[in-house]
Structure 1
Amino acid sequence: MSATTFATLTWRERKVRIEHQWIAPERTGAPLVVFLHEGLGSIAMWKDFPRQLCDAGGFRGLVFSRPGYGRSTPRGPEETWDVDFMHRQAHEVLPAFFEAIGLDEKPWLFGHSDGGSISLLYAGRFPDRVAGLVVLAPHIFVEDVTVANIEQARLAYLETDLPKKLGRYHDDVDSAFWGWNRIWLHPPFKQWNIEAELDTIRCPVLAIQGIDDEYGTLAQIRGIAERVPGTALVELPDCGHSPHRDQPEKAIVATVSFINEDRRSP
């Protein structure tokens, strides 16, 4: 990937810097894939997967860390996220980021977990601004298994060396962890549901999930297929919540095939 650069935008009445990296920008005319990370992710946590995917498909790529993650601006000292935090990322941050970097084309969004949900919300709000979606283990409603495992993550953060491990991927690890963990465990968040907002999605959608996903059941991606006609589903055996780590080759093959098949369609 190229060197990390920063874009500055105004969000929540303050200046926010967004770290981002381009992959193979010299492949002019190739599809652009924008990678949206999970609830505890960042550019660094993707490791080499975005490059592998783009090389396999001959794509260009754009990887970035949302506010509060990686080397992007951390949450403010008193800033807490509300039930609509993913909506605000999709409806406010992502459009502002694209404007700040001068993006004037329709990208493919490749989102994992929370990043998958944000991708769905963006495509639902701005159906004419996206070429297609690839979502890995997205959430469209809250399940008990998700909350139970996020509670286990809270205990691990308090009682183990998890902060040290996550510190390799975030300048402010407390900002990243508690921003994500507290809102998911906030009781009103159990009512969060974006199923109705999928109805306005018009682009091709590929939804991938591991059969052994510890953070959600297959009802998540099957629910997308019920709402978005033509959604392609891939249910991977021997795979948990992160298909790009547990089954990277299968995730790459499915994605490249899906994007290229769409390009060949009349």
Structure 2
Amino acid sequence: MQTMKSEEKHIEVPGGQIFVSRWWPTESSDKPAIVLLHDSLGCVALWRDFPAQLAEKLGREVVAYDRLGFGRSSVVPEPPSLRFIDEEAESVFPALCSSLGLEAVVPFGHSVGGGMAIAIASIHSQSNLCASVVTESAQAFVEERTRQGIEAAKKFFNQPGHLDKLSKYHGEKARWVLEAWTETWLHPNFADWSLRSHLKNVSCPVLAIHGDTDEYGSVAFPKLIAEESLGRSQALVLEGFGHVPHKENPGVVLAATERFLSEIEEPSVVAAGA
């Protein structure tokens, strides 16, 4: 077992400060760091032990951060725009990487974070910021299943006491966090959103992980990501998994990520051991 180091800090980015956590093995590695992008209700704390497990398993740095308005990051006074996915990729993410001195990274995004990971790879395709991308349960467009799942969640959190589950992690920002998700994704003008325009610019390798019982989207999502991105890409559909595979069985996601990165970073080693 490797000895791990960790660090917590706040970083200035356009729009405020973001809370950042880092994990890395004491033995240095020149492999690109993995940067985790959380889901619509998430934050660093809700990744739980997964970042540390990922850093230990892969022997490289792992970074996670709370997006503006979430967790321990700055309050956002206004609702997010309908371009919030692209805006994260255009301004916040590159500012984070610049502050941490990260020149090449592997964005690993869960749910809407997966969409952001694809947008990052697309928007920064000319700078080679992304060595590869991993998406988990990423929405690639707005399905009826997506809307139904969000409607159900909206009803759940509007019941007395249920918003407290979010307040535990987001404090006074909990209501904003909930509505930033539900009111954006259910907005009529967001219905035509998709990753298609971005995928045609993604030339780095992509692994799209998705559970076949995901309540927020069908396996059409990972298939579209794998089929329409330009680089060496693959869809991994996990039977019997829902929307949060890294929580349901982290070992499966860790192994899949390790295998994928080994295949693209050290193909000759993988071939020899096959």
TM over 0.5: yes
1:6 maps to a residue whose letter is: H
SS at match of 1:66: coil
Is the Cα contact below 8 Å between 1:42 and 1:69 reproduced in 2?
A: yes
Pair 1:166 & 2:170 matched: no
> When the two structures are superposed, what TM-score results if normalisation uses the length of structure 1?
0.93
Residue equivalent to 1:29: 30
Pair 1:74 & 2:75 matched: yes
Pair 1:232 & 2:230 matched: no
Residue equivalent to 2:153: 153
The whole-number CA distance in structure 2 between the counterparts of 1:30 and 1:225 is: 23
SS at match of 2:158: helix
Is the Cα contact below 8 Å between 2:106 and 2:134 reproduced in 1?
A: yes
1:147 maps to a residue whose letter is: R
- Aligned ranges for residues 94-105 of structure 1 at < 5 Å? 94-99=93-98, 101-105=99-103
SS at match of 2:19: strand
SS at match of 1:80: coil
- Aligned ranges for residues 11-160 of structure 1 at < 5 Å? 11=15, 16-24=16-24, 26=26, 27-76=28-77, 79-99=78-98, 101-127=99-125, 128-160=128-160
1:235 maps to a residue whose letter is: V
Q: Percent identity?
A: 32
- Number of aligned residues: 259
- CA offsets, 1:205-243, max 9 Å, x none? 000000000000000110012212431211001110111
The whole-number CA distance in structure 2 between the counterparts of 1:179 and 1:91 is: 19
- Return the offset for 1:104: 3.6
SS at match of 2:6: coil
The whole-number CA distance in structure 2 between the counterparts of 1:265 and 1:20 is: 32
1:34 maps to a residue whose letter is: V
Residue equivalent to 1:7: 11
SS at match of 1:221: helix
SS at match of 1:147: helix
Is the Cα contact below 8 Å between 1:74 and 1:176 reproduced in 2?
A: no
Is the Cα contact below 8 Å between 2:79 and 2:176 reproduced in 1?
A: no
Residue equivalent to 2:265: 263
> When the two structures are superposed, what TM-score results if normalisation uses the length of structure 2?
0.90
2:255 maps to a residue whose letter is: V
1:23 maps to a residue whose letter is: W
When structure 1 is superposed on structure 2, of 102-111 and 1-10 the one drifting more is: 1-10
The whole-number CA distance in structure 1 between the counterparts of 2:70 and 2:38 is: 10
- Return the offset for 1:36: 0.5
Residue equivalent to 1:219: 220
Is the Cα contact below 8 Å between 1:109 and 1:132 reproduced in 2?
A: yes
Residue equivalent to 2:271: none
1:132 maps to a residue whose letter is: S
SS at match of 1:45: helix
- Return the offset for 1:199: 0.6
- Deviating runs (4+, > 4 A) in structure 1? none
Is the Cα contact below 8 Å between 1:74 and 1:175 reproduced in 2?
A: no
The whole-number CA distance in structure 2 between the counterparts of 1:173 and 1:25 is: 34
- Return the offset for 1:189: 0.9
Is the Cα contact below 8 Å between 2:109 and 2:117 reproduced in 1?
A: yes
The whole-number CA distance in structure 2 between the counterparts of 1:206 and 1:189 is: 26
The whole-number CA distance in structure 2 between the counterparts of 1:144 and 1:39 is: 18
- Return the offset for 1:92: 1.7
- Return the offset for 1:25: 5.9
- CA offsets, 1:29-83, max 9 Å, x none? 233111110111100000001111121111211111110111001221xx12222
